[in-house]
């Protein structure tokens, strides 16, 4: 099958290989190989959701520059793009709002 680019709704009962332009909403996504999600925007100061999971509102992985200020569910993680030491690269939400605690990582 040749590569095809779709811009609009795509439905497949027997699998799909190709690229989509725009947003995709699905109940379940299965893939073999790599999945790349790129919003095409620079990291936001204070963070924004990169991946949300489960029915718990706000539980997910957040990405941004600077200290996290985004509100998220307790247990969410924040990856700081401008972190420069073992204690400024990764944070975990501790209170279900804007409370984040840094995680010290190895060098």
Q: What's the confidence (pLDDT) of residue 1?
A: 42
Q: pTM here?
A: 0.71
Q: Collapsing DSSP states into helix, strand and coil, what is residue 42?
A: coil
Tell me whether residue 89 is exposed, middle or buried, using C-beta atoms within 10 angstroms of its C-beta: 0 to 12, 13 to 18, 19 or more: middle
Q: Which residues of the chain have pLDDT under 70?
A: 1-30, 36, 38-39
Q: What's the confidence (pLDDT) of residue 41?
A: 80
């Amino acid at each position: 099958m040749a590569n095809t680019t779709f811009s609009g709704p795509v439905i497949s009962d027997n699998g799909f290989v190709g690229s989509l332009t725009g947003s995709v909403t699905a109940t379940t996504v299965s893939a073999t190989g790599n999945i790349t999600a790129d919003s095409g925007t620079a990291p936001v100061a204070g963070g924004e959701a990169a991946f949300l999971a489960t029915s718990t509102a706000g539980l997910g992985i957040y990405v941004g520059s600077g200290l996290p200020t985004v509100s998220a569910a307790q247990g969410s993680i924040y990856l700081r793009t401008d972190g420069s030491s073992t204690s400024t690269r990764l944070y975990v939400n501790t209170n279900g709002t804007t409370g984040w605690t840094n995680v010290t990582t190895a060098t």
